[in-house]
Chains A and B, each alone.
Chain A
Amino acid sequence: MTYESWGRFFRSRPARVVSLDWPHELPSFDGGSVLPYGLGRSYGDVCLNNGGTLLDTRGMSRFRRFDRETGLLECEAGATLEEILDVIVPAGWFLPVTPGTKFVTLGGCIANDVHGKNHHRAGTFGRWVRSLELRRSDRRSAPLEATIGGLGLTGLITFATVQLRRIESPFLLTEAIPFRGLEEFQSLSDSSDRTHEYTVAWFDSFDGRDARGIFFRGNHTQSDARARKRRPMKLPVPPLLNPATIRAFNTFYFRAAQHPEPRVQHYDPFFYPLDAVANWNAAYGRRGFVQYQCVIPTAAGLEPVAEILDRTAQSKMASFLTVIKKFGELASPGMLSFPRPGTTVCLDFAVKHDSLWPMLDDFDAIVAEAGGSVYPAKDSRLSPARFKQFFPQWEQFVPYIDPKFSSSFWRRVMA
């Protein structure tokens, strides 16, 4: 068992790891700061607590109640989305919101107030959390809006109740439509968001704003098809991602992934294509990688997005997984939630060249100018000033932090 974060850029050096097995057994919060840890799928350091204690929550993965009539699910916070899907899908229910991997815990989904391809319809994960139990080191409590998106700092989430979404089968009717340039993305997105519950676009990072891309969209559907359970391959993944291989991959992927005619697809490859390779994060090599996900508010238009894409292309520091999606109007419930109406762009970069850091600082400036924000769950390098600028509610949030809780991320952005 390792306690890394997904980007493998930060060294994880907890002084102590305490494994939690039962929600009713309160761990000791003594000796330095503590931070709940799930599966370590956030990219930067929000899940790390160097020099302090990590509370490993994976032993708390039991269901507490599942009402098959109403779709209310109460579950311990260490349960993974995979474990939840295995039970709810055969019963005709689906997650109200899902991120791009099922290897995350319920607690992590709440603490990072994650979003998915249906943000324009459902908003963030936190909107579907009906209640939760929080264990703190003091006698105080924190409101739901502090804990949702609260980065694990308001206390230990032991269990939570989530409203699920009805489905008629595990299948979706999906399309993968090739397009070129941001404007085509814009019009595809605007029309698809009216007709489709799930939308997202992949972009080739080499050609800036005029790049080719594939627009994915889908709706749940009825189907009698039978599903085969995929087991993730655990391969020794070589450090094979560099600009040349990414360029070759993009050319291949652009052809292979497009499928403009609707087809019936199981939820697993549609929502979780990368889960098929269990440890794809190793492909970036020894020093790991960083993600940069920002949101540009609708009012600022698409120009800031275009600028970021152009700068990425000029840098020749290829981004393997460039993803763009328009967030909808539904307000995020957490004080530190990231999603807000606008366009979100997600890029990832191998940590190889020193020029990466000033470029990302420039991106911060573009985002700040546009009145946008950067996603803490993916961040590895935001400055304290930028964090406070992007999350002005941090001051109202601070009083709800459990005095014994902290994280590497929090100490970095509060420095």
Chain B
Amino acid sequence: MKIAIIGATAAIAQATAIPFAENQAEFFLVARDAAKLAAVAADLQARGASRIDTFIADLADLPRHAAIIEGAGDVDVVVIAHGSLPDQQAIDRDPAAQLAAFHLNATSVISLAASFANVLESRKGGTLAVIGSVAGDRGRRSNYVYGAAKAAIHAWCDGARARLRAAGANVLLVKPGWVDTPMTRGMKKNPLFADARSVGRGIHDAIAAGEGTVYLPRFWRWISALVRLLPERLVKF
């Protein structure tokens, strides 16, 4: 089993990799920060990974993507987990910053996802797992640029899943709720926050089960359904 993880130093990506390492998987890990990536690679090695290759890249740099696809080679599972949560208030009146956030969270994700989809289609099997977010289910004042990028990914995944099904490959869209990671460090914590470890295991299990879309933790499905049903005049948050 070979797995490529894009954005491998993200907390959810690290947590997703652990169960695969325990099952002696082979890894192709991509991230921007060499020291962090080395720490993640050492961790997975110690946990039982049979082989690890690492690749340093700034994922916003689209021309680098071809080298990533080539470096990954023949993979069974791809997890695309990179992204960043911008401070919405800080970019509210800054079109260029909004586009930069959209570029990293949507355009660069679709660039990689589209290329890996071709790989899985031609090898007739495997799973492409992409990290979306409940933020993409409804635009909200507090994170609508991040939400817009995630909504773009959601639609892309739904369509690509239908296309790849014919080839026997799967596209898994993961929609985490609030997860306690460095990305959400500035947010005030409440009991709905999940730890990255359980979300990572949930992603591993969803990949193994061949699921299409999963909310993690699972109860977010109901919260999200409710949030989508709320009438516009009530959504002020």
Stretch at the interface among B37-45, B142-150, B221-229: B37-45
In A356-398, the 8 Å CB interface with B consists of none
Beta-carbon contact of B40 and A62 below 8 Å? yes
A23 touches B39 (CB 8 A): yes
**Cβ–Cβ contact A65 & B189, under 8 A:** no
Chain A neighbourhood of B189, CB < 8 A: 1
- Contacting pair A65 B36 (CB below 8 A): no
Q: Is the pair B35, A19 in contact by a Cβ cutoff of 8 Å?
A: no
7 pairs of A and B residues whose beta carbons are closest in the complex: A63-B46, A62-B43, A66-B46, A63-B43, A64-B42, A24-B35, A21-B182
Chain A residues with CB below 8 A from B42, complex form: 62-65
A64 to B14: give the CA distance in the assembly, Å: 14
Contact present for A22 and B47 (CB under 8 Å): no
The answer to whether A24 and B46 touch (CB under 8 A), given A1-B189, A19-B182, A19-B185, is no
Give chain A nearest CB distance to B199 CB in angstroms.
15
Q: Is the CB of A1 within 8 A of B39?
A: no
A87 touches B47 (CB 8 A): yes
**Residue B211 at the chain A interface, CB threshold 8 Å:** no
Q: List 13 A-B contacts (CB under 8 A).
A: A19-B182, A21-B11, A22-B36, A24-B39, A59-B182, A62-B42, A64-B39, A64-B43, A65-B42, A66-B46, A66-B47, A87-B22, A87-B46
* Bound Cα distance A74, B46 (Å): 9
Q: Check: B180 CB closer than 8 A to any chain A CB.
A: yes
Chain B, residue nearest A90 (CB) = B22
Residues of B within 8 A of A23 (CB): 39
B42-59 residues with Cβ-Cβ distance < 8 A to A are 42-43, 45-48
The smallest C-beta distance from B180 to any residue of chain A, in angstroms, reads 7
Which B residues are CB-close (under 8 A) to A63?
A: 42-43, 46-47
Q: Which residues of the partner chain A approach B180 to less than 8 Å between Cβ atoms?
A: 1
Q: Chain B residues near A22 (CB, 8 Å)?
A: 35-36, 39
Q: Is the interface of B mostly helix, strand, loop or mixed?
A: helix
Q: Which residue of B45, B46, B47, B180 has the most chain A CB atoms within 10 A of its CB atom? A: B46
Measured CB to CB, the closest approach of chain A to B64, in angstroms, equals 23
Residue of B nearest to A66 (CB): B46
Residues of B within 8 A of A66 (CB): 46-47
Query: Measured between C-beta atoms, what is the minimum distance from A145 to chain B in Å?
Result: 28
Query: From residue 1 to 53 of chain A, which have CB atoms closer than 8 A to chain B?
Result: 1, 19, 21-24
Q: Mark B164-186, 1 if CB is under 8 A from A, else 0.
A: 00000000000000001010010
Closest to B43 in A: A62
Complex: A61 Cα to B28 Cα, angstroms? 21
How near does chain B come to A226, taking the closest CB pair, in angstroms? Answer: 17
**Residues from chain A with Cβ under 8 Å of B46 in the complex:** 63-66, 73-74, 87
Most chain B Cβ neighbours within 10 Å, of A21, A62, A74: A62
What CA separation (Å) do A19 and B189 show in the bound complex? 13
List of B residues within 8 angstroms of A59 by Cβ: 11, 182
- A87 and B47 CA atoms in complex are apart in Å by 6
Q: Considering only CB atoms, which chain B residue lies closest to A22 in the complex?
A: B36
In the bound complex, CA of A21 to CA of B182 (Å):
8
Shortest B85–chain A CB gap in Å is 15
**Interfacial chain B residues near A24, Cβ < 8 Å:** 35-36, 39
Q: Give every chain A residue within 8 A of B47 (Cβ-Cβ).
A: 63, 66, 87
Nearest B residue to A75 by beta-carbon distance? B46
Docked Cα-Cα span, A190 to B198, in Å, equals: 45
Residue in A23, A59, A63 whose Cβ sees the most chain B Cβ within 10 Å: A63
Q: Give A228 Cβ to nearest chain B Cβ, in Å.
A: 17
Complex interface residues of chain B between 1 and 52 (CB less than 8 A to chain A): 11, 14, 22, 35-36, 39-40, 42-43, 45-48
Q: Mark A68-84, 1 if CB is under 8 A from B, else 0.
A: 00000110000000000
Cα of A65 to Cα of B44 in the assembled complex, Å: 9
**Cα-based distance from A62 to B150 in the complex (angstroms):** 29
Say how far A313's CB is from chain B's closest CB, in angstroms: 41
Query: Chain A residues with Cβ under 8 A from B36's Cβ?
Result: 22, 24
Q: When each residue 187-229 of chain B gets 1 if its CB lies under 8 Å from chain A and 0 otherwise, what string results?
A: 0010000000000000000000000000000000000000000
Task: Give chain A nearest CB distance to B56 CB in angstroms.
Answer: 15
Report the Cα distance A63→B47, complex, angstroms. Answer: 8
Contacts of B40 in A (CB 8 A): 62
In the complex, the chain B residue whose C-beta lies closest to that of A64 is B42
A21: chain B residues at CB < 8 Å are 11, 182
Complex Cα distance, B48 from A264, in Å, reads 28
Residues in A neighbouring B11, C-beta threshold 8 A: 21, 59
Scoring B11, B40, B42 by chain A CB atoms within 10 A of each residue's CB, the highest score goes to B42
